[in-house]
Structure 1
Amino acid sequence: MKEGKDLNLTDLVKTIQLINQPNLEGIVVTHVTTDSREVVPGTLFVAIKGYTVDGHEYAAQAVERGAVAVVSERSLDLSVPNLIVRDSSRSIGLLASAFYAYPSEQMRLFGITGTNGKTTTTTILRDVLDVLGHSTGLIGTVEVRINDKIVPSKNTTPQSSELQQLLAQMRDEGVTDVMMEVSSHGLELGRVIGTDFDIVGFTNLTHDHLDFHGTFENYARAKGLLFAQLGQMASRGKVAVLNADDAQTPLYETMTGAKVITYGIDAQADLMATDIEQTLSQTSFTLNYQGAKLPVTVQFIGRFNVYNLLLATGCLLAAGYSLERIAKALEMIHPAKGRMQRLDVPGYNVYADYAHTPDGIEQCLKSLVGVPKEKIIFLIGTGGNRDVTKRPAMGEMASTYAGTVIITTDDPRFEAYESITKGIAAGMTHDNFVEIGDREEAVRYAARLAKPDNIIVLAGKGHEKYQIIGNEKLPLDEEAIVRATILNTEEA
């Protein structure tokens, strides 16, 4: 099968199960997409029914733009062949993978799933492999990176045809190792069908995304699909790296046919961290694996980052690297952007973090070892039109560990500011908090409280330089706001 251009449709559709059998002789496909706006002459258009847009309604438009055939879940009145399938959102992954000549099979692919820690772990893996001299690709929340080239990311897990196109581009540019964040949404919607992972890892599972999954059990099952899809082919040497300290790991062990490596701090595991010592600038611990003990000191703070470093180490051990080489590389790398990232505000202690779940907030604040609670000023926000059940627990965690709490939003979308902040305030355990729905003003308020001997944490947005209000994506550079506000305060 040829790759990515001039592909005979009769060969391409052998990868999926058709309900009907239209005549496809002589049809050549030059592009595959689910977005009618991307259709060019020669395109195979796949109509997907989404939550807000139904691609079936754009099939005629796709034909007008040059689509040579349309895949859909129901019969459509079109002037080109209409291929009917049971589930078009799953078919697109197989079609796109075949169209681009199965790019994931030609590189080593690491997949990381879990509630918190995906970005940090994939970044650690990428940075270590860079140190070890590999050509790397990264697909995640913060960015898509092909070696040193950065491409903005639309979703944590890209839509299937976009994902396969990215993987093909990485392969064609000489990438040998790809690190990918795999979200529960992406797994549930079938976005990674057609993607062949070699090593997959699990960070943890805590309260999040119940607006989408409905129940915690459904959320857990969705994450488990990554391990179930890892495959049964013993000759491929596939590995699942699982957190022995998380209650979901026994479930995932039963869901995968791959070899399992466990890691942990408290429970007995194949790979463990002991003798953990933390400061506000670094963490030291001992790596324990198969009788070997190696002390490491890293530029990451917080117990949660020890877990992320352990998971990355487990994935690299599964890939065949020695513990010694991994440990040396870990000491050379830096934390991911927006993950307890110290902002460039000379003379002040200001951090940005992506924490937007109860567990993420708890782990973030616990990383501030030795800092009195009354010295911690914590700005907390959450998104509008999303899971409301986690909001009181977020407030409870913030007030448990921070003496002053500023309650705001992150991406309010179409929900009123007050609705969001009241939900978080309902869980507060002390009265030293303020509600400021406008996040930009809330950041300024936090900055005005900054002193050389206290710590400000801006949580919820992390690396992001924007805010979604309504359906608009508006610029919001919190680091610049903090610097300007502190400078103005000093001058006053």
Structure 2
Amino acid sequence: MKEGKDLNLTDLAKHIQLINQLSNSDINVTHVTTDSREVVPGTLFVAIKGYTVDGHDYAATAVERGAVAIVSERPLDVPVPNLVVRDSSRAVGLLASAFYGYPSEQMRMFGITGTNGKTTTTTILRDVLAELGHSTGLIGTVEVRINDRVVPSKNTTPQSSELQQLLAQMKAEGVTDVMMEVSSHGLELGRVIGTDFDIVGFTNLTHDHLDFHGTFDNYARAKGLLFAQLGQIASRGKVAVLNADDPYSKLYETMTGARVMTYGIDAPADVLATNIVQTLSDTSFHLHYQGESLPVTVQFIGRFNVYNILLATGCLLAAGYSLAKIIEALEAIHPAKGRMQRLDVPGYNVYADYAHTPDGIEQCLKSLVGVPKEDIIFLIGTGGNRDVTKRPTMGQMASKYAGTVVITTDDPRFEAYDSITSGIASGMTHDNFVEIGDREEAVRYAASLAKPTNIVVLAGKGHEKYQIIGNEKIPLDEEKIVRATILKMEES
């Protein structure tokens, strides 16, 4: 689908560093993509070498479908201009941004990175700004939203050409503020190159994605790229909002040239929460900023959500809103889908959460304040063919806070069920657990343990209504399974 303005190939090529000399460049480009299936006549096709597919192998197919030029990391034998670059992942961001007229520069861009809390924080920002009357866009794990229209998302951080096209659509539909989750994968792969952020925030850094990054230091460095790329032009007024209670904020402060605002609970910070009172339905605390101290009660549970609210508040303060206005909007909004979301099962306490890291599990379970450990049934799974080193610690955290644990899979992909569940089970510190590799069966079993007096938490999938088995997405609606199981149980 063509969204951008037709540009001459010569003009587009000025935005990237070529290894070769471009000839026969008086050609109009009508589309930019990295997916050969999306090529239409007039397309500039950028060949990217991925982990499973190499776009260079599809260059000839792209030409057959109408590509007028190919960007690649090595010379290709194609009958159209071939622009050779060192890194095509970087090049596509710059090309797509120019092609679509630099849409990110024409809207206020909020970027949120960190291990846990990205979805909740971006959703809070979106909901508050909508409450304040703004036209908003959201790009994240749960959904892509343009004003009131929801578009299913493929990746937490879309591929560069897809991202710039999406931003151009948002701009065309009147969006003024965009909230974006920025993953470590997206940063490492250069997917946000060409995107101009105004205010960026950091949630926290805990164990995750080491299958991709190799080491925790590499993972931390990848997150830091968002702050390093924030820009050095002082007159632009850019701001990095950092978690004073997370030690990695010190590193990110050294990596950015932007103004730094901090938030926290334990350490001194610009935006501070005190007198936190938690229940199973809401959380109250005092918000402090520049001498002001105001009470707030939100419909979010858990200390981890206080951090998410503090980060969102810091971003909004950096954008120029008053503390009183922010609090008024915060008290009117609801939690994001699948983030300690209470399921619609009348008479029972069943929650869905996206927790799939050791820290995420700990924070999720610690939010159940006042609930005896023996009254918590916790279902946890993890993805197959992914970071195996976190699995024992996930089991350790689950057994620390939950009296009964149901160990299952998340998206098993091509890994055997028992390989996944045994990894989690190896970290368990009590014996009151069961391993059920088939997640649907495991959800049904966990639901069968539900009573009006206890709490069941289904962790790992959150908002997702599917499971990836092999390379297929298999429908899986856990809320429906829970309701059907409990109804059958009551009837018997």
TM-score (normalizing by structure 1): 0.99
Contact 1:3 1:99 (8 Å CA) reproduced: no
Deviation per CA, 1:166-202: give whole Å up to 9, x if none.
Answer: 0000000000000000000000000000000000000
User: What secondary structure, in the 3-state scheme, does the structure 2 residue paired with 1:15 have?
Assistant: coil
Deviation per CA, 1:347-401: give whole Å up to 9, x if none.
Answer: 0000000000000000000000000000000000000000000000000000000
Residue 205 of structure 1 and its aligned partner are, at CA, apart by: 0.1
Q: Where do 4+ consecutive residues of structure 1 move more than 3 Å?
A: none
Separation in structure 1 between the aligned mates of residue 399 and residue 250 of structure 2, nearest angstrom? 33
1:163 corresponds in structure 2 to: 163
Deviation per CA, 1:429-465: give whole Å up to 9, x if none.
Answer: 0000000000000000001000000000000000000
Amino acid in structure 2 at the alignment position of 1:220 = A
2:235 corresponds in structure 1 to: 235
- Once the two structures are superposed, the pairs formed by residues 105-144 of structure 1 within 5 Å of their partners are 105-144=105-144
User: What secondary structure, in the 3-state scheme, does the structure 2 residue paired with 1:450 have?
Assistant: coil
Structure 1: give runs of 5+ residues left out of the alignment: none
Amino acid in structure 1 at the alignment position of 2:52 = T
Separation in structure 2 between the aligned mates of residue 102 and residue 268 of structure 1, nearest angstrom? 38
Contact 2:31 2:42 (8 Å CA) reproduced: yes
2:25 corresponds in structure 1 to: 25
Separation in structure 1 between the aligned mates of residue 330 and residue 410 of structure 2, nearest angstrom? 32
Give me the CA root mean square deviation: 0.8
2:338 corresponds in structure 1 to: 338
Amino acid in structure 2 at the alignment position of 1:328 = E
Separation in structure 1 between the aligned mates of residue 40 and residue 288 of structure 2, nearest angstrom? 55
Separation in structure 2 between the aligned mates of residue 144 and residue 433 of structure 1, nearest angstrom? 37
Amino acid in structure 1 at the alignment position of 2:333 = I
2:319 corresponds in structure 1 to: 319
1:56 corresponds in structure 2 to: 56
- Once the two structures are superposed, the pairs formed by residues 418-429 of structure 1 within 5 Å of their partners are 418-429=418-429
Separation in structure 1 between the aligned mates of residue 376 and residue 274 of structure 2, nearest angstrom? 28
Is 1:265 the counterpart of 2:232? The answer is: no
Residue 25 of structure 1 and its aligned partner are, at CA, apart by: 3.4
Amino acid in structure 2 at the alignment position of 1:209 = H
Separation in structure 2 between the aligned mates of residue 296 and residue 83 of structure 1, nearest angstrom? 56
Amino acid in structure 2 at the alignment position of 1:369 = V
Separation in structure 1 between the aligned mates of residue 239 and residue 6 of structure 2, nearest angstrom? 36
- Once the two structures are superposed, the pairs formed by residues 347-426 of structure 1 within 5 Å of their partners are 347-426=347-426
Contact 1:115 1:205 (8 Å CA) reproduced: yes
Contact 1:465 1:477 (8 Å CA) reproduced: yes
Separation in structure 1 between the aligned mates of residue 73 and residue 449 of structure 2, nearest angstrom? 57
Amino acid in structure 1 at the alignment position of 2:326 = I
Contact 2:3 2:165 (8 Å CA) reproduced: no
Residue 5 of structure 1 and its aligned partner are, at CA, apart by: 3.0
Contact 1:243 1:311 (8 Å CA) reproduced: yes
2:432 corresponds in structure 1 to: 432
Is 1:187 the counterpart of 2:187? The answer is: yes
Residue 23 of structure 1 and its aligned partner are, at CA, apart by: 1.2
Separation in structure 1 between the aligned mates of residue 419 and residue 203 of structure 2, nearest angstrom? 31
Separation in structure 2 between the aligned mates of residue 310 and residue 217 of structure 1, nearest angstrom? 26
Residue 3 of structure 1 and its aligned partner are, at CA, apart by: 8.0
1:477 corresponds in structure 2 to: 477
Separation in structure 2 between the aligned mates of residue 398 and residue 3 of structure 1, nearest angstrom? 47
Structure 2: give runs of 5+ residues left out of the alignment: none
Contact 2:69 2:81 (8 Å CA) reproduced: yes
Separation in structure 2 between the aligned mates of residue 472 and residue 72 of structure 1, nearest angstrom? 30
Is 1:449 the counterpart of 2:452? The answer is: no
1:6 corresponds in structure 2 to: 6
1:310 corresponds in structure 2 to: 310
Contact 2:405 2:433 (8 Å CA) reproduced: yes
Contact 2:447 2:482 (8 Å CA) reproduced: yes
The count of residues paired between Structure 1 and Structure 2 equals 491
1:72 corresponds in structure 2 to: 72
2:224 corresponds in structure 1 to: 224
Separation in structure 2 between the aligned mates of residue 320 and residue 167 of structure 1, nearest angstrom? 23
2:288 corresponds in structure 1 to: 288
Residue 4 of structure 1 and its aligned partner are, at CA, apart by: 1.4
Separation in structure 2 between the aligned mates of residue 43 and residue 147 of structure 1, nearest angstrom? 29
Separation in structure 2 between the aligned mates of residue 336 and residue 16 of structure 1, nearest angstrom? 39
Contact 2:108 2:197 (8 Å CA) reproduced: yes
Contact 1:9 1:24 (8 Å CA) reproduced: no
1:486 corresponds in structure 2 to: 486
Deviation per CA, 1:91-146: give whole Å up to 9, x if none.
Answer: 00000000000000000000000000000000000000000000000000000000
Contact 1:10 1:24 (8 Å CA) reproduced: no
1:251 corresponds in structure 2 to: 251
1:95 corresponds in structure 2 to: 95
1:200 corresponds in structure 2 to: 200
Separation in structure 1 between the aligned mates of residue 112 and residue 39 of structure 2, nearest angstrom? 32
User: What secondary structure, in the 3-state scheme, does the structure 1 residue paired with 2:59 have?
Assistant: helix
2:40 corresponds in structure 1 to: 40
2:461 corresponds in structure 1 to: 461
Contact 1:3 1:101 (8 Å CA) reproduced: no
User: What secondary structure, in the 3-state scheme, does the structure 1 residue paired with 2:205 have?
Assistant: coil
Structure 1 351/68 Cα, relative in aligned 2: closer, same or farther at 3 Å? same
Contact 1:378 1:458 (8 Å CA) reproduced: yes
Separation in structure 2 between the aligned mates of residue 480 and residue 190 of structure 1, nearest angstrom? 39
Contact 2:301 2:367 (8 Å CA) reproduced: yes
